[in-house]
Amino acid sequence: MESTSFYTRKPDLEEAYLRYVSHGHTDSFVSESFLWMMNYSRKLNNDPDLCQDFLLQFLDKLPRFLDSFSTRPGSRFTGYLARCMRFDFMNYIRKVKKYEPARCDLPVENFGYKTERTTAWNGALSYALQQIEPVHRIPMKIQCGWPLDLPELRDLCHRHSPEQARGLHQGFLRRIQDQEHWRRQHKHKMSLYFDRLHRGNRGRDYRYIRRKLERERTKNTNTVMSLREISGHLRISKAALHRRVAMGRRALRSALDQMPEQIPEIPGALEAGFLGQPDPCLIYQFSTVGDRQFLILEPIKNLEPVGISLYSQSELCYKLGLSGALAFPLHLFAPGKYLLQTTGQMLRFKLSI
């Protein structure tokens, strides 16, 4: 009933088809009926971009549909074209969903800003941690809340499965976010306390609030992730993890005691993680060396070489096969938006420089 009222409001489509039969010009028919087709496609789906993409490919098939209707007298052209569009739209949706690539937005725009967290990892602590074996360093860093870099994620993938490594890393990042949220809440409570004092509300004693908040801040000495949680992800015993953490702490204390006077420059790791759904296929890391900035990509073990293509808004910048680690010099690219796409895994992610 809804489609009948819709056709009743649009009688021009029948006249446009009769004019097409008389002169045979497809372009004239498209110009007269495009508004009707656009409105009908929007009844099939609310996404305007999807409707426009569908109409672009449907207009290529339109001459075939027009010629087919000439052999079917006795039916209205409006209903016939609506059926053709509906069936072709369903086929188009199945194709789009089947080949829809996974997307991941990466925060390259944060490169120009040096925060306290990034500068701290270019000093003595970062150099001392590099002197420790990864098997002892990784669980210690996870417990303390120190970020992991690409070599450590690679080591996790080699010692365990990529799925286990990504699950551990995602749980670690969630715990870091929870701690940051708690710190923001604590800062907000303290700001309310000082605001009350500043406004002159001295009728009540607000000092107990400050003492309570400071106790909440200092009494929480729990680690970011417990040994039970780490062992659950990596499927190893808590006793083995406890020994590794203890050996890592002793090695860190020894490395700090033997620190040289001049610390060599170490590439800074801003962020590292996994790419690919449902199975991880790439490890990425944003790195800085002085004023230079790089995006490092590396395939995970036991995978076929990955094809990498980097596009700007107007052209293809790079196209190559990735069988080992690859560093894109982001400081050499012009500011703008880029799309990095992989073949085979149907993965693509956007970069804003």
Angle at 57 between CA 56 and CA 61, to 5 degrees: 120
Greater confidence (300 vs 278) lies with 300
Span 84-99, pLDDT tens digits: 888 888 888 877 765 5
Span 148-180, pLDDT tens digits: 888 899 889 888 888 888 888 888 888 888 878
> What pLDDT is recorded for position 323?
67
Q: How many CB atoms lie within 10 A of CB 327?
A: 15
Q: How far apart are CA 164 and CA 142, in angstroms?
A: 14
Q: What is the mean pLDDT of residues 225-229?
A: 86
pLDDT confidence bin for 107, thresholds 50/70/90: very low
> What pLDDT is recorded for position 302?
56
Region of residue 51 (phi > 0: left; psi between -120 and 50: alpha; otherwise: beta): alpha
Q: What is the mean pLDDT of residues 327-340?
A: 81
Q: How far apart are the first and last CA of the chain?
A: 52
Question: In this prediction, what percent of the chain has a pLDDT beyond 90?
Answer: 1
Q: What is the mean pLDDT of residues 114-130?
A: 62
The closest alpha carbon to 268, from 110, 134, 95, 35, belongs to 110
Q: How far apart are CA 312 and CA 340, in angstroms?
A: 9
Question: Residue 317, SS3?
Answer: strand
> What pLDDT is recorded for position 217?
60
The closest alpha carbon to 342, from 298, 286, 288, 285, belongs to 298
> What pLDDT is recorded for position 201?
57
Greater confidence (118 vs 207) lies with 207
**pLDDT, averaged across the chain:** 76
Cβ-contact 101, 341 below 8 angstroms: yes
pLDDT higher than threshold 80 for residue 273: yes
Span 182-211, pLDDT tens digits: 777 777 776 776 666 666 555 555 566 666
Which helix (H) or strand (E) segment holds residue 163: the answer is helix 162-198
> What pLDDT is recorded for position 50?
80
